[in-house]
Amino acid sequence: MAPYLNLQGNILAAEAIIRSGTEDQCRRFLTPTASGEMLWCQLFSEPGAGSDLAGLGSMATPTAEGGFLLNGQKVWSSNAQFAEYGILMARTDPDAAKHQGISFFLLDMSLPGVEVRPIKQMTGDQEFCEVFFTDVDLAPDSIIGRPGDGWQVAMNVLLDERGSFGAAGVISLEHELDNLSQLGKNEGSLGPVAADDLASLVARGHALKALLNRLGSAPEAAPAAKLLRTEISAATSHLAASMRGADGMLNDATTQDLLYAPGMGIAGGSSEIQRNIIGERVLGLPREPR
């Protein structure tokens, strides 16, 4: 079993298959995914597209046999070096409108032409990967939904991903707040500035917990949960390091959390993107000029 929670499989791939897949795809993938026998990765982001998910350049060209020939590159694919399958967005119609020429695939990572290159992070880990596709032969039954429906399938997947910050976030947030409060007790006299920062952060955490409990699985909860949860986690890491001072440099957990924190503001949709979604789709504010 790979050393990570199979979020990409249990939440993202499974939900996409249940919502948009065929009966055969459900029978083939859901049970081994739920049991942890089948691990997944997410193949959405690309080097040249940034946060413009619809700007992807990976091409899945239809073949005479009814399948597709895949070429392109993905990046920041979590734990792709362990995954047996990946959920993939690729352009199948280069002449269609930007959001309409995309299809959604279930990719067998063992296929010829798939190359995975782990990326070494400043934490020392290799959680993320680049994935390259060279003439990868995709079977006709590897597509989810119809050709060109991939954008809507992917948007539901992203809603599931961001919403998981709320669903699973309540429990992990409680644990994080308990640890932070215990840290304050262990450090003894914190001084007025650190004590005020600690009290403010604990209050923000409990307010977010109440918000997550109230909104539950409502669609508007997903971007808010993702944004606020990652911001509190980053602030917690910085405060814990500050409270420990120079001793924090000798604590592996403190160092790991501090170095990892900035990435959570990017993973699953950057904080800037979440603010745009909240402003435009939840609050109904005018869209940014394009």
- Tens-digit pLDDT string for the chain (290 aa): 344 557 789 888 999 999 999 999 999 999 999 998 999 999 999 998 766 788 899 999 999 999 999 999 999 898 899 999 999 999 999 999 888 999 999 999 999 999 999 998 877 788 889 999 999 999 999 999 999 999 999 988 877 666 555 545 556 667 777 777 776 676 555 667 777 888 888 888 888 878 777 776 666 677 887 888 888 888 888 888 887 777 777 777 788 888 888 877 777 778 888 898 889 888 899 987 77
Residues 84 and 142 in one domain: yes
Question: Does 270 reside within a domain?
Answer: yes
Instruction: Among 102, 120, 149, identify where a domain stops.
Output: 149
Tell me if residue 161 is catalytic: yes
Q: Which two tokens stand for residue 54?
A: 């619809």
Among residues 15, 127, 161, 176, which one is catalytic?
A: 161
Question: Does 14 reside within a domain?
Answer: yes
Name the region of 101 (left: φ>0; alpha: ψ -120 to 50; beta: rest).
alpha
Task: Give the chain's domain count.
Answer: 2
Question: Does 161 reside within a domain?
Answer: no
Torsion, Cα 275 280 285 289, to 10 degrees, reads 90
Nearest by Cα to 212 from 174, 263, 261: 174
What is the residue range of 110's domain? 7-149
